Amino acid sequence: MAMPPLRLLQHIRTHCPPPSSPMLLRVRKPSFARSSVEGFISLMAKYTTGGSGSPKLLFRQLFEKDSSTYTYLLADVGHPDKPALLVDPVDKTVERDLTFVKELGLKLIYAMNTHVHADHVTGTALIKGMVPGVQSVISKASNARADLFVEHGDKIHFGNLFLEVRATPGHTLGCVTYVTGDGSDQPQPRMAFTGDALLIHGCGRTDFQGGSSDQLYNSVHSQIFTLPKDTLLYPAHDYKGFTVTTVEEELSHNPRLTKDKETFKNIMENLKLAYPKMIDVAVPANMVCGFQDAIKKPSEALAS
């Protein structure tokens, strides 16, 4: 299902805006050259040094009904540039998101994913096509294509605020959780964008995309449950209309992850879930940054 390199190159040439930085240009290479973390941090310097104004977080949770996906908008509106990022944008709601970003006078710099989603197509490619200079971000471990790759411990700066990257594999092998910074000038309580690693009173399935119930248990317990108890946890989805939870709430009420590891593994191995209906469409698209006509159409996928 992977796209042949030549076809991918054609898509990149068709869809990408004119290069606004050497980083973007590198993504255009058919060799899939990827930016290093060093380059990433260096590029961010213009936002992290010399900025006037105290950091002030603008935060919005946005919902896409069909896939019950949450997209998160964060910006430092205390910074003159009002640099902003989107976590887990969805293709169907890109126009809404970008209209909103424009209305608020924000400068969108990153379109980030917590992982390679299997239930919707990321809005990353559309955003890059519509807003020159935006860079896509995903974990190095995902093996997906993006402008910038992050690893455990990296910091993603936007203005005088930052997100910390925590590797939380288990739903997929490349899942990360983005956590707002720890410090007196960073938002309190902290906020964590958990993707599908931890859902509200639940968690993502572990039977596809390099998933592992053993690994997910370790990830959540070591990287999310160790955050301060009042940390606000924002997942990539909720199907019942919940919008947020906390570490304290999940430590007490998560019906799966409050169990011991063997019980958890047993639960996850006996969920008997249906084959994910969007996986054959979404994963190939999301592996290449969400270029939608680089993938099978739904009818083709269903026929395969």
Contact positions toward a copy of itself, by CB under 8 A?
Answer: 60-65, 93, 96, 100, 103-104, 240-244, 249, 253
Cα separation, 285 vs 259, whole angstroms: 35
In whole angstroms, the minimum distance from the beta carbon of 122 to a copy of itself comes to: 16
Beta bridge partners of 158: 161
| Nearest residue (CB) to a copy of itself, 217 versus 234 | 234
Q: Which is nearer to a copy of itself, 79 or 157 (CB)?
A: 79
Cross-strand pairs, 165: 178
Nearest to 50 by CA among 8, 80, 9, 23: 80
Residue 190: strand, helix, or coil: coil
Pick between residue 24 and residue 98 the one whose CB is nearest to a copy of itself: 98
Cβ proximity to a copy of itself: between 144 and 257 the closer is 257
CB of 95 vs a copy of itself, minimal distance in Å: 10
CA distance 115 to 196: 8
Q: Which is nearer to a copy of itself, 67 or 209 (CB)?
A: 67
Measure the CA–CA gap between 28 and 24, rounded to whole angstroms. Answer: 7
Q: How many CB atoms lie within 10 A of CB 102?
A: 11
**Residues whose CB is less than 8 angstroms from the CB of residue 178 and which lie 6 or more positions away in sequence, other chains included:** 87, 112, 114, 156, 163, 164, 165, 166, 192, 193
Q: Which is nearer to a copy of itself, 243 or 266 (CB)?
A: 243
State in angstroms the smallest separation of the CB of 13 from a copy of itself: 32
Helix (H, G, I), strand (E, B) or coil at 43: helix
Q: Which is nearer to a copy of itself, 92 or 152 (CB)?
A: 92
Q: Is 195 helix (H, G, I), strand (E, B) or coil?
A: strand
| Shortest Cβ 253–a copy of itself spacing (Å) | 5
Please state the closest distance from residue 105 (CB atom) to a copy of itself, in A. 9
Which residue carries 């290449």 as its tokens? Answer: 288
In whole angstroms, the minimum distance from the beta carbon of 183 to a copy of itself comes to: 20
Phi, psi of 13 (to 5 degrees): -65, -35
Q: Which is nearer to a copy of itself, 61 or 226 (CB)?
A: 61
CA distance 207 to 298: 22
Which residues lie below 8 Å from residue 222, measured CB to CB, with a gap of 6+?
Answer: none
- Nearest distance from C-beta of residue 209 to a copy of itself, angstroms: 26
CB 152 within 8 A of CB 142: no
**Least Å distance between CB 249 and a copy of itself?**
7
B/e letters for 278-288, b = 16+ CB within 10 Å, e = fewer, are bbbbbbbbbbb
